[in-house]
Structure 1
Amino acid sequence: MPTQRGYRQACGIARGLDLVGERWSLLVVRELLLGPKRFTDLQQALPTASPNALSDRLRELADAGVVRRRQLPAPSNARVYELTTWGRELEPIVVALGTWALAAPPTAEQVFVSVDSAMLTIRTYFVPTPKQPEMTIRIELRDHGPAGVFGVHLTQSGAEVTHEPPEEPDAQLVTTTEALLAAFGENDLAHAAEITGNPKIVRHLTANVHVP
């Protein structure tokens, strides 16, 4: 944030808001928690952000050392944005803010859920069972096309979520974002999903995502 718009207070909270308090900044961080993205991917995830506003936030976050831009190797050669090591330290802050805000009822216009936001729900709120066996799941949220494909690795520590699906998953789930969100805390997705492999693993996943 430019100095003339800062809070000008010798306080860590004020300094933090100087860095990431502008509109869209923390949502850009949210969208990069699961891995790097192209500008067009960020536009898809933040559809009401204007291109100019998104460009401004990315530039400011890069200047602050929260985000960096790099070019992927061939054959992709795409230019992507990713969090720096320091930027990744914002994850518990972003998650805590989201959990805190769940106590407030949503407004009528708050209907859009980005695909990464839905999958971060799994990473944040999945509660492993005692002696949790390691299991892998390929999840495809068909309403998001190629951007909706993820890999989930369940361990005794929790759920690891990435944009890279496992080559030989124990189970595969194809569904919609809405159906997945509705299934959290439940153990039945069969009415709104295609499941291959071991269906018990998918039921185990959804039943153990406990959103406050």
Structure 2
Amino acid sequence: MASRRSYGSYNDGCAAAHALDLIGDRWTMIVVRELLLGPKRFADLQRDVLGIGPGILTRRLQELTTHDVAVRRRLPGPGGADVYELTAWGRQLEVVNSALSAWAVQSPSMPFEADMSPDTLVLAMRTHARPVTDQPGPRTVSLTLSDSRQEAPAPVHYQAVMTADATVIHRVAEPGRADAGVAASTRDWKACVIGGTPLTQLPGISVTGDGAIVELLVAATSLRSADSSPPGRHRG
């Protein structure tokens, strides 16, 4: 198969054109998206990026590492697995991912009812996260999401910290100590933070600890609170 000619080979010196040479191929930004919250094994990426074949995933990862967008490294310890992770430069693509999302929701063919991976859903929350100014001290929520697209999915854990300066959410290996905990499928959690369905109407979402703190997280990251767009037109 002949390789695609780069825009630079046509004497196009535009930086945006060069960016498309680096990340413009099909699946590339989707793979990048699934690495934005931390490293993953090849098998993890194949699980999380539905529809990608192993050959295409191998090529996209090779391209990302060749261009220094990502690196491949071995985890320490006996039996350590190889993982892929973004470089510091590659992690700057989170703002690109957020900008693409904000632009794409204006599309009349946006598949609003489709499911999202756990990391994709948390990235949407991070894009619209706002500080909490009416609470003394930090408030923390342990968030556990199960991928609705998978059969018997392994739970993925996140920690959210809300302060008067910012609301930040990170992926973590295990649930940490928190003021409250919430466990949900990605479908239910998307219905809450993107669709605006109240927690009380989603019995599949399990809340432990201080439920008011979970409501605070929803308010700080809900797409309905972030803008005044009509239902079904919220950024994701």
So what's the TM-score if we normalise by structure 1?
0.89
Q: Deviations over 1:56-90 (max 9, x none)?
A: 00000100000000011115601100000111111
In structure 2, what is the Cα distance between the partners aligned to 1:154 and 1:37?
26
2:132 and 2:162 in contact (8 A); partners too: no
Distance 1:4 1:11, change over 3 A: same
1:187 and 1:207 in contact (8 A); partners too: no
In structure 1, what is the Cα distance between the partners aligned to 2:187 and 2:113?
14
Distance 1:107 1:124, change over 3 A: closer
Question: Which residue does the alignment assign to 2:217?
Answer: 205
Q: Deviations over 1:152-180 (max 9, x none)?
A: 22232222222344531111111111111
Question: Which residue does the alignment assign to 2:64?
Answer: 61
Among candidates 131, 135, 138, match of residue 134 of structure 1: 138
2:122 and 2:169 in contact (8 A); partners too: no
SS in 2 for 1:48: coil
In structure 2, what is the Cα distance between the partners aligned to 1:27 and 1:54?
10
Question: Which residue does the alignment assign to 2:127?
Answer: 124
In structure 2, what is the Cα distance between the partners aligned to 1:95 and 1:150?
19
In structure 2, what is the Cα distance between the partners aligned to 1:67 and 1:167?
28
SS in 2 for 1:77: coil
Deviation at 1:147, TM superposition (A): 4.6
SS in 2 for 1:203: helix
Question: Which residue does the alignment assign to 1:5?
Answer: 5
SS in 2 for 1:192: coil
Q: Superposition RMSD on alpha carbons, in Å? A: 2.3
2:144 and 2:184 in contact (8 A); partners too: yes
What percentage of residue pairs aligned between the two structures are identical?
36
In structure 1, what is the Cα distance between the partners aligned to 2:169 and 2:123?
9
Runs of 4+ in 1 over 4 A off after TM superposition: 106-110
2:72 and 2:82 in contact (8 A); partners too: yes
Q: Does 1:101 align with 2:88?
A: no
Q: Which runs of 5+ in 1 are unaligned?
A: none
Distance 1:90 1:198, change over 3 A: same
Amino acid across the alignment from 2:212: K
SS in 1 for 2:183: strand
Q: Does 1:40 align with 2:43?
A: yes
SS in 2 for 1:74: coil
Structure in which a larger fraction of residues adopt helix: 1
So what's the TM-score if we normalise by structure 2?
0.81
Deviation at 1:149, TM superposition (A): 1.9
Distance 1:160 1:149, change over 3 A: closer
